[in-house]
Amino acid sequence: MGQWSVRRCSVLVAAVSFIMLTGCKAVTGQSDVTGSTRSASQETYRKLAETWGKRYQSNPGDKTASLNYARALRGIDEKPQAVSVLQQALARHPDDPEILAAYGKLLVETGQLELARAVLSRAHTPDMPNARVLSAQGVVADQSGEHAKAQELYRSALKQDPNDPVILTNLGLSLLLSRQSREAETVLRRAVASPRADLRMRETFALALVVNGRTDEAVSVLGVDMAAAAAREKVAELQQGAASEGLSGAVRAAQKAEAPLKLAPAKEPAPVLKRAHMPTQPPIVVTEPAPRPSDNAPLALRSGLPPS
């Protein structure tokens, strides 16, 4: 198996399953701070969903209301309803690239890969590509077992934004899936170097380090977000956790076609971007105060591993 031993392959499957199971929930055994922060975030999303839902109901054809309502619903994990909202928006705006992009990414998250592939292909054009749409198309390819094609799409996306940690993380995960763990480690190191990196990305990087036998560094990386004892426990779970899911299932659960929603103090919902080919920031932004490492409290979890 080349540089991957049978032992390391089993470690990867177990580790991927572990991250898949933790998802965006607080990790068992960590501080309650994360759980209470998550509750606060969910409450904020619910309020945003209520606000935008009223505007959407009064005018279902409103593009801004449709996009923001769907994103708020995604934030409270009401993805089927979000899909329905975007379907209605697309019926009214069949060629709108931003709606196509949002709808396609959500289809990836709900496992509708073939429909997502068709929708995303319409969300941008070769002369005006959208980096995040390219990345979403890469996720579709990865989840369909086409890792070489996926990596080509991620690299094309990185030509537009070489330091995007979401795209770098998806590329690193794809490299792990195609048994290129050394290159994956290099790519994921770039991802976590970004000031936009989050816990999910650091967990992904830690996984690559574990696969490559660098457990001490993995503990150090996770120590940014949690106490040393919790970091050691996490690494031990990455090493020893019993696999209950295969890699393809973990990819669907962890690799993300859409950037994570973030919360921000805002009295009014922020407007959406007008063009899909522009660098995208979710219009619903929620910022949570991030505890310092000295507080022994973990940062909020973002998007996991195989990875809107």
**What per-residue confidence (pLDDT) applies to 124?**
94
pTM here is 0.69
- State the pLDDT confidence band at 6, using cuts at 50, 70 and 90: very low
Coil, helix or strand at residue 266:
coil
Give 3-state DSSP helix, strand, coil % of the chain, rounded to 5.
60, 0, 35
Q: How far apart are CA 139 and CA 167, in angstroms?
A: 10
Query: What are the residue boundaries of the structural domains of the chain, listed by start?
Result: 6-295
pLDDT higher than threshold 80 for residue 10: no
- More reliable by pLDDT, 220 or 18: 220
Q: How many CB atoms lie within 10 A of CB 240?
A: 12
Closest CA to 51 of 289, 284, 273, 274: 284
pLDDT tens digits along 287-296: 333 443 433 3
Residue with tokens 């490492």: 293
Contacts (Cβ under 8 Å, ≥6 apart) of 57 = none
Torsion sign over Cα 70, 71, 72, 73 = positive
Return d(Cα 191, Cα 209) in angstroms, integer: 14
Work out the mean pLDDT of the chain and round it to a whole number: 74
Please, what is the Cα angle at 45 between 44 and 49, to 5 degrees? 120
- Spatial distance between the Cα atoms of 90 and 220, rounded to a whole number of angstroms: 46
Q: Which CATH architecture has domain 6-295?
A: Alpha Horseshoe (1.25)
C-alpha count within 13 angstroms, C-beta hemisphere, residue 305: 30
The top-scoring range by mean pLDDT among 25-29, 63-67, 201-205, 244-248 is: 63-67
pLDDT in tens, 37-56: 455 578 888 999 999 999 99
Tokens of 193: 């170097």
Reported confidence tier of residue 22, pLDDT bands at 50, 70, 90? very low
